[in-house]
C-alpha cells in the first residue's frame, strides 16, 4: 500500500500536464504536446528510475518515487510553457479588442 501512495503522490500535477498538452493540441501545436509527453517519460522518468534506487536505502521506494517527481517537474514545465506562449497572447488579443470597442 505504501508503494501506491508513493506512486500517486504527485498525481495532481498531471492536471497541469494534461491541460498544457490539450491546449497545445487544440491550437495545432502538436509538436509541443508530443515534446512534453516525451520529456516527462523519457527525459525525467527513465533516468530517475535508474538513479533513485541507487541513491536511496529503500530501492523499491526509489522506483516508485520517479513517477511523482516526473509529474511535478513535467506538469510545471508544460503548464508554464503553455502560459507564456499561449495565455499571454490571448491576453494581448483581449486588450486590442477592448481598444477597438472603446
Show pLDDT as tens, one digit a residue, over the chain (102 residues): 788 888 888 888 899 999 999 999 998 989 999 999 999 999 999 999 999 999 999 888 888 899 999 999 999 999 999 988 887 777 765 555 555 555
The count of domains in the chain is 1
pTM of the complete model: 0.78
Helical packing angle, 14-26 and 59-82, nearest 10°: 40
Tell me which residue range forms the domain holding 17: 2-101
C-alpha cell at 87: 495565455
Whole-number Å distance between alpha carbons of 13 and 51: 22
The answer to whether the beta carbons of residues 28 and 12 sit under 8 Å apart is no
Amino acid at each position: 500500500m505504501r508503494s501506491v501512495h508513493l506512486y500517486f503522490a504527485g498525481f495532481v500535477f498531471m492536471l497541469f500536464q494534461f491541460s498544457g498538452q490539450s491546449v497545445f493540441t487544440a491550437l495545432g501545436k502538436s509538436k509541443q504536446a508530443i515534446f512534453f509527453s516525451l520529456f516527462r517519460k523519457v527525459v525525467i522518468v527513465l533516468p530517475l528510475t535508474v538513479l533513485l534506487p541507487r541513491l536511496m536505502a529503500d530501492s523499491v521506494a526509489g522506483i516508485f518515487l520517479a513517477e511523482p517527481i516526473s509529474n511535478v517537474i513535467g506538469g510545471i514545465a508544460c503548464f508554464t510553457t503553455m502560459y507564456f506562449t499561449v495565455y499571454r497572447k490571448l491576453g494581448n488579443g483581449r486588450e486590442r479588442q477592448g481598444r477597438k470597442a472603446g
